[in-house]
Amino acid sequence: MLQNKWYLIYFFSSVVSNLGNQIYLLAIPWLILEMTGSALSMTIMMAVELVPYILLGPFLGSLIDRINRKTVIIASNIMQFLLVLSIPIASYFFTIGSLYLYVIGFVLAIFALCYDIVSDFGIIPKLVNKDNLTAANSLYQGMSKITDIGGPAIAGTLIAVLGANNALIVDGVSYLFTLAVLIILPVNLNSTPAQVAEGAEDTEEQETTSFIREMVKDVKEGFLFILKRNILWGAAFAGALMNLGLGASYPIITYYLGSEQGLPSSTVGVFFGVAGVFAIIGASLASYLSKKLEMGLAIFYVIIFTTIAAFGMYLFTQNWILVMVTYASLNAGMTIFNIYTFTLRQKEIPEEMIGRVNSAYRVILTVPFPLSALGLGWLAEQYSVSLVFLIIGICMVFSTLFILVSKISAYKESKSAQFAS
């Protein structure tokens, strides 16, 4: 990987982008906390940002499969740059409220979704061969997780010194570096000519079929492809159960630290920075474990570990330092899980269906997020964060049981064909 020039260039651009994202992730909930002091308002922001993933995700994936993907990713990057900067600019001229942030968050999520659909599964597989995908993903996820250490600390310091609004300027500028790399990156992100021609021929033969009907058909194909491959639907629904509990963890923990524990933004940044250290450890272990264990068995062991860590957060609620350690351990486990399922999707999804299948997969994973955000945000505000931590642990137990029932733990990478129905 270190000899692959374009892989490294793309990787370092992602590091810069991730640093900016870390600023956004902390600045937005902190800004809402300052405005409202409400855990529910903080999680509503998260729910609003996830609506496009649920309602538009499958259709955007189908649309992206039909147009120039490089144009999509570049345009999405530019729009994210403009939308993020609109927050500090608007606040300079008038007092903005949570409603303004909700609107910006919703639109921003649409372009972030377009960007992710192309980048996650369209670029790295073009830069490395399939045999090196697990190693490339481990390096990409692990090394980019370095930003999870410095990013939150930088974000917390910037918020403390400049204020949450002005800290977002740094996030906005980070998009420019990524934009430059995307423009010069020598990869063809579109399907092969034969695949495109086949799609065009189908369209000509069905002149009476509307474009919307074709998109609905593509969405159906995406979901059916997942349901026909046991390893994909098993990983997707197990992930959905995890997200039901963990979906709102970031704003909930920010509320827990800032409101219940009375800690400053700089300390909150350190908390998430420690979680980033553990994520790097997890990413480093992913490649090692994949050589020692079959991927399905490794996934099962990782989820057991993560479940124990989740209950640790509940047991140590009164001590934020111990919560930090258990949350960081949970983050390490989830990093390994994400690397494995990420690799599975890259290997199992054919190139011509990247958009529609990935979008369908994202919908399955994302639907629980707004439910988690609204439900857990309300519970945290009305009762306590301790109850929320307990519910996270219970959700992880059900996720573990689902992995057992769906036989994901029996998956062997070298024999993935046996999981196609």
**From its phi and psi, is residue 407 left (phi > 0), alpha (psi between -120 and 50) or beta?**
left
How far apart are the C-alpha atoms of 281 and 334, rounded to whole Å? 11
Range of the domain at 264: 5-419
Q: What is the 3-state secondary structure (H, E, C) of 172-192?
A: HHHHHHHHHHHHHCCCCCCCC
CATH of the domain at 405: 1.20.1250.20
DSSP bridge pairs for 420: 229
Query: Residue 318: its pLDDT value, please?
Result: 92
**Which token pair is 415?**
């024999």
Please give the Cα distance from 272 to 85 (Å, whole number).
24
Residues 6 or more apart whose CB falls under 8 angstroms from that of 332 comprise: 278, 279, 281, 282, 285
Helix, strand, coil % in the chain, rounded to nearest 5: 85, 0, 15
What is the per-residue pLDDT for 192? 47
List CB contacts of 55: < 8 A, sequence separation 6 or more. Answer: none
pLDDT for the residue numbered 141: 67
| CA–CA distance, 375 with 125 (Å, rounded to integer) | 38
Q: From first to last of the 421 residues of the chain, give the pLDDT tens digit.
A: 556 777 778 878 888 888 888 899 889 999 998 888 888 899 899 889 888 877 876 677 667 767 777 888 899 999 999 999 999 999 888 888 889 999 999 999 999 888 887 776 667 777 777 666 767 777 776 666 677 777 888 888 888 888 888 889 989 988 888 888 888 877 776 654 434 444 444 444 444 356 667 767 777 888 888 888 777 887 888 888 888 888 888 889 999 999 889 899 889 988 988 888 888 888 888 878 878 888 778 888 888 999 999 999 999 999 999 999 999 999 899 888 888 888 777 777 877 777 778 778 878 888 888 888 888 989 988 888 999 999 999 999 988 887 887 777 676 655 444 444 4
DSSP sequence for 204-235: HHTTTS-HHHHHHHHHHHHHHHHHTBHHHHHH
324 within 8 A of 197, measured Cβ to Cβ: no
Q: How many domains does one find in the chain? A: 1
To which residue do tokens 């061969």 refer? 129
| Positions of E strands within 205-346 | none
Helix/strand number for the chain, H first, E second: 19, 0
Tokens 């992913």 locate to 286
pLDDT for residue 53: 78
